[in-house]
Copies of this chain bind each other. A is one copy, B any other.
């Protein structure tokens, strides 16, 4: 029996990755004034900077902005002008101030699951920005608890299970990221409901989830989550 259901937030309950990708596209436009974009492999270089910096910055828009600036300095051999660096800062602020846009059917799906289960929100990234988004979403009242964590790995989920005083088998995680929402929970013996999102950040796309697991369901949208939880409750 599943007692507790965790919901991811970014790209599960509300849109997030498109705003980061818009910032990346605008970043390339700005760099195009200095370098030949066809040669520069801007995307790969940015990703390499982000991968290196994630160990120092963690996830989120502030770290992304710092990585944009660092990559811009590297790729232009420090020729980038102050005004364009200022424009990169604004790209980061635009992500931080973007209004929260819920995915369709989110409230109804969480309410349906909450009728028969305790539900918690488990999101990773920047504490300050995530809190602001939870507040703006109008969904905070639906959740028994809101956990903002710095990384979603087996150690984090194991700590949460301990705090919830719950064995992994009684827990299902709902989210768009196989890497962060599904793989670590399956590895600990819990259940997962994967709700793919249209786009995935390259660093988030690397995963080792067991896609053949009997404890995994894949649904097209949040509307499919209550049914998937009911199914897993029978077999998990």
Chain B CB within 8 A of A170 CB: no
Contact code string A167-183 (vs B, CB < 8 Å = 1, else 0): 00000000000000000
B69 touches A85 (CB 8 A): yes
Q: Do A86 and B78 contact each other (CB < 8 Å), given the known contacts A66-B66, A93-B56, A127-B127?
A: yes
Chain B residues positioned under 8 Å from A131 (CB to CB): 150
Tell me the residues in window 101-142 of chain A with beta carbons closer than 8 Å to chain B beta carbons: 126-129, 131
Chain B CB within 8 A of A97 CB: yes
Tell me the residues in window 165-200 of chain A with beta carbons closer than 8 Å to chain B beta carbons: none
A89 touches B65 (CB 8 A): no
| Cross-chain contact of A127 among B56, B69, B73, B148 (Cβ < 8 A) | B148
Interface size on A, residues (CB 8 A): 35
Chain B proximity of A88: nearest CB distance (Å): 9
| Cross-chain contact of A58 among B89, B127, B150 (Cβ < 8 A) | B127
Complex formed: what's the CA distance from A56 to B70 in Å?
Answer: 21
Residues of A that sit less than 8 Å from B by CB? 56-59, 62-63, 65-66, 69-70, 72-73, 76-83, 85-86, 89, 92-93, 96-97, 126-129, 131, 148-150
Given known contacts A66-B89, A66-B92, A80-B85, what 10 new A-B pairs fall within 8 Å (CB)?
A56-B96, A57-B128, A59-B128, A69-B85, A73-B86, A78-B82, A78-B83, A85-B85, A127-B127, A127-B148
